[in-house]
Structure 1
Amino acid sequence: MIRVRFVSIPVANQDRALAFYTEKLGFEVVTDQPFGNGQRWIELRPPGSETLVVLFTPPGMENRIGGYQNVAFTCEDVEAAYRELSARGVEFVQPARRAEWGGMEAIFKDSEGNVFVLAAPQGAP
């Protein structure tokens, strides 16, 4: 069966992004090694996830940094995560709220200006 191994998040500064994802979001470093062109291949694991997050920007794709990303994160309690992450200094552009689709969601930015949705699983309060 096919599964998603990793999703790549474009970043301008790998050190700054690594600190954000590990210290503020609590992701675990799986791999951090040289990858050429002055970059590193950094794989992170969100708590409880099989899918990894890679902090890497392929040459010529720098224009993807700092916009809305097609990656959505999930947690059981968006309101609690919103409070906890806000206290850690994560910038939310939309606080936790009930979305039009019926579930809870919040929208946050990472250290590189990338924007992500944080949503509860389907059917969660």
Structure 2
Amino acid sequence: MITGVNTVVVWVLDQDSAKTFFTETLGLQARTDVPFGEGVRWVTVGPRDQPEVQLSLMVPGAPVQDAETAEQLRALLLKGALVGCTFTVEDCASAVKELTARGVTFVQQPQPRPWGISATFRDDSGTCHELLQPHQQGREAAGQNT
């Protein structure tokens, strides 16, 4: 049976730019940056406090997609039509303020939701990601008593 999540793909237009955005702007940790076949790189980043979880910053194309599919995916990225990850934070409003000061574009300011307080931002490739301050009962249900 499934025991956890290890890697989540985030589609990006440029791996170098995305790596800088996710590490220097968002504060994630650089994990891996190695060649993976001809002209392809395996680039991963992740939360410092979750070494078992990583985001793979993937550029559309070989070996995953054919040229036509890769172009369609690039078009969706450019359009801002893709949804990425949910990142948990202790204080959503403070995180939004800090990340805005670092140049992050928020498309939705913190809003109460049934699962917590949520804000939405775009990465440097146009993908939307969520910041989430979970409700206390959600943390307890997930075994995260903080």
Task: Using structure 2 for the length normalisation, give the TM-score.
Answer: 0.75
- The one-letter code of the counterpart of 2:133 is A
Is 1:106 aligned with 2:119? yes
Identify the residue that residue 140 of structure 2 maps to in structure 1. none
- Aligned CA distance change for structure 1 residues 3 and 88 (closer, same or farther; 3 Å): same
- Measure, in 2, the Cα distance between the counterparts of 1:55 and 1:37: 17
Q: Please state whether the residue corresponding to 1:20 is helix, strand or coil.
A: helix
Partners of 1:58 and 1:12 lie apart in 2 by 8
Structure scoring higher RCO (CA < 8 A, sep ≥ 6) equals 1
SS at match of 1:21: helix
**What residue is the counterpart of 1:82 in the other structure?**
96
- Work out whether 1:33 is the aligned partner of 2:34: yes
Structure 1 pair 36–102 and aligned structure 2 pair: CA distance change class (3 A): closer
Identify the match of residue 53 of structure 2 among 51, 54, 57. 51
- The answer to whether the Cα contact below 8 Å between 2:25 and 2:99 also exists between their aligned partners in 1 is yes
Segments of structure 2 that go 5 or more residues without pairing to the other structure are 138-146
Distance 1:70 1:15 in 2: 18
Q: Could you tell me whether the CA contact under 8 Å between 2:86 and 2:129 is conserved in 1?
A: yes
User: Which structure has the greater CA radius of gyration?
Assistant: 2
Name the aligned partner's letter for residue 97 of structure 2.
Answer: R
Out of 109, 112, 118, the position equivalent to 1:95 is: 109
- Correspondence for 1:18: 19
Q: Deviations over 1:78-118 (max 9, x none)?
A: 1110000000000000111222x162110000000000111
Cα deviation, residue 39, structure 1: 2.5
Which sections of structure 1, spanning at least 5 residues, go unmatched?
Answer: none
Higher strand share: 1
CA gap 1:27/1:71 in 2 versus in 1, 3 angstroms: same
Question: Which has more helix, going by share of residues?
Answer: 2
Contact 1:27 1:44 in 2 (8 A): yes
**How many residue pairs end up in the alignment?**
123
Distance 1:5 1:30 in 2: 13
